[in-house]
Amino acid sequence: MTNTNPLWKTLLLAAIAIVGVLFALPNIFGSDPAVQVSGRTDPLTPIEVSQFDLTLSKAGFENVEIRIDEGRFLALFASEDDQIRARDVLADSLDPNRFITSLNLVDASPEWLRNIAAPMYLGLDLRGGVHFLMEVDMQTALTSAEERFVPDWKRRVRGEGIRGTSIQYRNGEISARFKDEANRDLMLPILRRDVFSLDFDTSEDDEYAYITANLTEIAAVEEQRSALQQNIVTLRNRINELGVSEPVIQQQGVDRIVVQLPGVQDTGRAKDIIGATATLEYRLVSLGGNGKAYTQRYDGSTVMLDRDIIVTGDQIKGASSGIDQQSGSAAVFVNLDSAGARRMQEVTQDNVGNLMAVVYIENRIDSVEVDGEIIKKVTKIEEVINTATINDVLSHRFQTTGLGLNEATDLALLLRAGALKAPVQIVEERTVGPSLGKDNIRQGFLSAVVGLALVVVFMGFYYRTFGVIAGLALVTNVVLIVAVLGVLGATLTLPGIAGIVLTTGMAVDANVLIFERIREELKAGGSVQAALSAGYDKAFVTIADANITTLIAAVVLFSMGTGPIKGFAITLCIGILTSMFTAIFGTRVLVNALFGGKRLQTLPI
């Protein structure tokens, strides 16, 4: 028994070690504060980039490192003060309808390395930023879903030529009132046709006959799931509009969403945008007396509008703010999807010469004191911001006026990102300052280095040359964990650092089992080569059992946990796999290279 290495094993170990070092190296350089500018719709042109650079130079920023990354302009600075001043300079000089200006942290590694590898993402606890826990108003989502059937019911009743019918949503249900049972019984199968999400019921009194309906239990659950998922998509779109990199937006439970924005420094702006629920509705001004009263924003007067909605915010697929060429006031230019455009065309074609109103809707959340307890109060604000005569048939694109410049800019942003399907309320908010993130990074890094150093010293003292080999394997293990996290684009958090430290201890444990087995074989009188082979072969089953059971637990943590638990679980999973490689395969290749195939009487173990 010679314990020699085939060439492929030596080459494999060397290749993995070199690649691991290369992909872990970007994390050594850290990150620099930067100002990021990106186009809202189109990539930046070289002329625009030159203008940004010239603007910074005129403001006194010299020798600024400029990068173009995936169509974004990045200006790197030595301090956060310079970063914030430069952001203000650029934001004041650029059109907010064309460009997004934001603060960021970017990789400080050299260009040749950035073309090969990227550093790990740092979580909120390491990088600083803001954490929101948002609750979705599911009752409003269900109410909106049921109210959407009212216009359809009205069209079907009109299509049958039935008069004297009242259809409305009240007391939590859709209700149709008929003068007699015959008309009701005629309409029931028509209203049920192609509608599988409603439970229908009929009733009558001395004067009228009724059809009432509510969402089925299955449809209600699906509507709640859809509201949560659409809100997640909308929030992600809004955050992209803010220019935040590496955000965390994920579901928590059945009605809550966690939003984490690492590196965000303008938390007030972020809170205003992601928590806002502003949208628009277009309605005809009522020609009769049975409309719904709305308040006009600027003079406080009342205007009666039709109860039927022409189009809503969720049918708007594009929006931008600008200046109305005729009036010189701020305007929002709106693009509708195909269904909204078709509906707008049908209504305006039949109402040329009549008035159409634009209703601005916002759910404002205020903290009020009730019986000595602070509670959140949601107030729905509905204001008419504009009424205008329909001079021509409208379709896909038109404009809305009646807002201030800042209001128009923010409303256009919200409409571009999409309307929230249901209102959200921020129930928890935490801000982590950048200085705390730096302290966490330093302390976490120091704890890992100190722990690793103590383990290496102990192993070298107790197992001599074999302990040094185990220490080298430990260092390689940490490098490989960092490299894999960077390749996968995983986010490192403080619990993740704990997972790395834990797997470092587990890797040592595997080597301890191997080395103690070798010692036992030597004490039993076996040859050096037989002891080496038996140490690795016989300890392998025990090591594999321990690591596989831990890996199963880590996978369960990752699949069922959230937030920090996932961060711990992902580093634990990666660490188990890399430690198995370094502690068993890596150290065996090194031990065989040093001691295999030689006639030795003893080993330095």
Nearest to 424 by CA among 139, 220, 215, 147: 139
- Determine the pLDDT at residue 70: 72
pLDDT beyond 90 at 18: yes
418 pLDDT band, cuts 50/70/90, is low
Residue with tokens 């992902």: 570
pLDDT computed for residue 562 by the predictor: 65
pLDDT of residue 200: 93
| β-strand partners of 322 | 331
With CA atoms as reference, report the closest residue to 134 among 253, 268, 263, 269: 253
Quick check: 246 pLDDT over 70?
no
* 3-class secondary-structure state, position 63: coil
pLDDT attached to residue 177:
92
Look at residue 41 in the predicted model and tell me its pLDDT: 59
Confidence band, pLDDT 50/70/90 cuts, at residue 419:
low
CB 209 within 8 A of CB 181: yes
Q: What is the pLDDT of residue 19?
A: 92
Rounded Cα distance, 475 and 460, in Å: 14
Residue 396 amino acid letter: H
Cα separation, 10 vs 278, whole angstroms: 63
Q: Give pLDDT tens digits for 19-73.
A: 999 999 988 887 888 888 887 656 788 888 888 888 888 888 888 888 887 778 8
- Residue 9, judged by CB atoms within 10 A of its CB (0-12, 13-18, 19+), counts as middle
Percent of the chain clearing pLDDT 70 (strictly above): 87
Amino acid at 151: P
Contact between 77 and 104 under an 8 Å Cβ cutoff? The reply is: no
Q: What value does the mean pLDDT take over residues 580-589?
A: 87
Higher pLDDT, 77 or 71: 77
Q: Select from 81, 74, 126 the least CA-distant residue to 104.
A: 74
For residues 585-605, average pLDDT: 82
Q: Is 64 left (phi over 0), alpha (psi -120 to 50) or beta?
A: beta
In eight-state DSSP terms, residue 315 is G
CB neighbours (10 Å) of residue 325? 8
Please give the residue that has the higher pLDDT: either 293 or 431: 293
Q: What's the average model confidence in pLDDT over 179-204?
A: 90
- Alpha-carbon span 333 to 409, nearest angstrom: 11
Is 460 or 272 the better-scoring residue by pLDDT? Answer: 460
Question: DSSP secondary-structure letter at 583?
Answer: I
Give the pLDDT confidence score for residue 243 in this predicted structure.
Answer: 59
Contacts of 428-431 with C-beta under 8 Å, sequence gap 24+, read: 428/131, 428/132, 428/133, 429/130, 429/131, 429/132, 429/133, 429/271, 430/130, 430/131, 431/129, 431/130, 431/131, 431/267
pLDDT in tens, 535-544: 888 888 888 8
Can you name the residues that pair with 374 across neighbouring β-strands? 369
Site of tokens 């697929």: 317
Domains defined along the chain, listed by start: 7-26+433-595 (1.20.1640.10), 31-108 (3.30.70.3400), 140-218 (3.30.70), 278-405 (3.30.1360.200)
Local confidence band at 163 (pLDDT 50, 70, 90 cut-offs) = confident
Percent over 90 (pLDDT), the chain: 8
The pLDDT-based confidence of 448 (bands split at 50, 70, 90) is confident
For tokens 């370094």, name the residue: 582
End-to-end, the C-alpha distance of the chain in Å comes to 20
Q: Alpha-carbon torsion 101, 105, 109, 114, what sign?
A: negative
Strand 65-69, strand 31-39: pairing:
unpaired
Q: How far apart are CA 416 and CA 565, in angstroms?
A: 34
Per-residue pLDDT reduced to its tens digit, 332-378: 788 888 878 888 888 888 888 888 888 877 766 665 667 777 666 66
Do strands 355-370 and 397-401 pair parallel, antiparallel, or not at all (unpaired)?
A: unpaired
Report d(CA 294, CA 305) in Å as an integer.
7
Q: What are phi and psi of 504, to 5 degrees?
A: -60, -45
Residue 165, CA distances (Å) to 70, 183, 564 in order: 59, 9, 57
Q: Give 236 or 112, the one with higher predicted confidence.
A: 112
Rounded distance between C-alpha atoms, residue 302 and residue 305, angstroms: 10
Q: How much is the pLDDT for 213? A: 93
Decide if 467 contacts 459 (C-beta within 8 A).
yes
Of the pLDDT bands very low, low, confident and very high (cuts 50, 70, 90), residue 269 is low
Distance of CA 530 to the CA centre of its chain: 55
pLDDT range class, residue 516, cuts 50, 70, 90: confident
pLDDT value of residue 434 = 58
What is the distance between the alpha carbons of residues 581 and 507, in angstroms, rounded to a whole number?
9
Mode of pairing for the β-strands spanning 292-296 and 373-389:
parallel
Average pLDDT across the chain, whole number: 81
Q: What is the pLDDT of residues 370-405, one digit of tens each?
A: 777 766 666 777 888 778 778 778 888 877 776 677
Q: What is the mean pLDDT of residues 164-191?
A: 89
Tell me the per-residue pLDDT of 453-465, one tens digit each, with 9 for 90 and over.
888 888 888 888 8
